[in-house]
Structure 1
Amino acid sequence: MRFDNRVAVLTGAGSGLGRAYALALAERGAKVALIDSDALDKDKTGANSGLESSHQAVLALGEQSMLFNLDVSDFAGVKQAVTEIISHWGRIDILVNNAGIHAPCDFDNLTVDMWQHQLNTDLNGSFYMTKAVWPQMKQQGYGRVIMISAASGLYGDMHETSYSASKMGLIGLVNSLYLEGIDHNIKVNSLTPHALTPMTANRLASSVKPLFSKSSIMASMMFLCSLDAPTGQHLLTAAGSVSHGQFTEFKSCYFSAEECKPEAILNSWQQIYQAQPVNLHRSGEDQVLAWARRGAGERHITIE
């Protein structure tokens, strides 16, 4: 699988998985535009660190690279960067929305500013980037957009309310946006990875750290960037495994209007909770149609 003549834009590209994504695509021929907010940081030797290091690593592979010291929550800056990329290379084929922050905090001490900063970076930043590249992708009839989510977003974790909310918001963004991209060959998916990085090192036991390499994550990312990528899907990958995720609904219990009281739900809770079989729905409209069919069936009403 090659990405020759493709232009990829990656946010959060100065370290961790963002840097790895950029190098993986460059190794397979992509031109890469690197976006992060640390380009002016210096390490103790005085050399440029972070974004500049990623930029130099791409150049060392013999591929073209642009870099932007940019906070993705700055929509004006995002639009300017995208304009420069298109002016320089003529197109944008791939967008990997990887930029994010992670600052666990118990809800009692979570401030409005902290909440807003989290959403501005993880959720709004991904929206801004996608909004900026979308017209170009539509015009050229090709695009691949990946939202990088997190296990805490899908399932929740202690002291992760702002992080979970912003990462789960990306799932909702994929679920609707992919429908608007179908007619333009723009494919929108999410990737939920977990690897050993500076951000996650203190959350993994020493005995399992060697399991959390980046191999399955890089493979999944490139699959979602490829010509044959699916759309509207959610992949979870870590420790060598790749799986497909989707919101599921357990079998419903029906209550007539006369019977439907909170006490009835309480009494039926064990039946409602994880009742089999599990139902999958392709969209919100599909869910609404399922509700309508259930209600009609219970009332012996025929609907088309």
Structure 2
Amino acid sequence: MKLSYAQLVRFSSLFTMLMVGLMIVTKCWAWLSSGSAAMLGSLTDSLLDISASLMSFLVLSYALRPADDDHRFGHGKAEALAGLGQAAFIAGSACLLAFHGIERLINPVVLKHSLLGVWVSLFAIVCTLLVVMVQFQVVKRTQSIAVKADSLHYKGDILLNIAVLLAILLSYYGVIYADPIFAIGVAGYLLYNCWDIAKESAAHLMDKELPDDEKADIIMLASSHDDVYGVHDLRTRQSGKVKFIQLHLELDDDMPLMRAHTVSDDVVAMIQQAFEGELDILIHQDPVSLAVNPKLSQN
């Protein structure tokens, strides 16, 4: 059974929150037992993960609503707003973690119950791998920016948990500064991640064009029709699950209106067949003489 866009992104969000909830419980236990700054950083990151994932789930429920009288282009841009919210959460947590790591550099603390931290970190790595695998499949089928932002963060979490594991092991062997140094390193990585998420979210809000290869495919498909002389003024953007495509077709000057309409429908069908997901395509028909000599259109 083929799941819809809405079913896939909702399943991804619910599965992610379940896995992160399990990690929060175990990391809280390990931090209280060991006092590790790196473990606190990992716990803080997981708390923000579940907050961001919950926010994404709520925003996705809104973004998946169909177009209405007040939002004729749909609600898809709400996904990009969720991405910006995640970036803000991550940036705040990274700054707090950096301050905590610097304080531990000045006043180092010997970690306790290191073995517990090792097992918890291994458990977190397994849970995060499961989350990333599910999200990879969902992003592959939906290209959801909210799920993609989540996935980018959780890929970083795998490295984060490995860093925590190394910090605990090094501290166990007497390298007391390993824990705060790794905590500061994790803070830097979180800031790097939040910049990527914010940049991609802003690109969607600012109606950034689709990738060049996709635009080239659109022009190639439209130009391949026997009755199309050329294509110009291609404009594209993406809002949530919907890709918006606008273009002008250059057609014979004497082509009847009904035939021009049929040609446009043929081009729309070819583009929809070539691209996965939901498309909103608007085509304007231009007489080829005006397209080649645009000054004539001003007369």
Which TM-score band (shorter chain)? under 0.3
Q: Which has the larger radius of gyration?
A: 2
Please give the TM-score of this superposition, normalised by the length of structure 1: 0.25
Query: Which protein has the bigger helix share?
Result: 2
Structure possessing the higher relative contact order (Cα contacts under 8 Å, 6 or more residues apart): 2
- The structure with more strand, counted as a fraction of residues: 1
TM-score with structure 2 length normalisation? 0.26
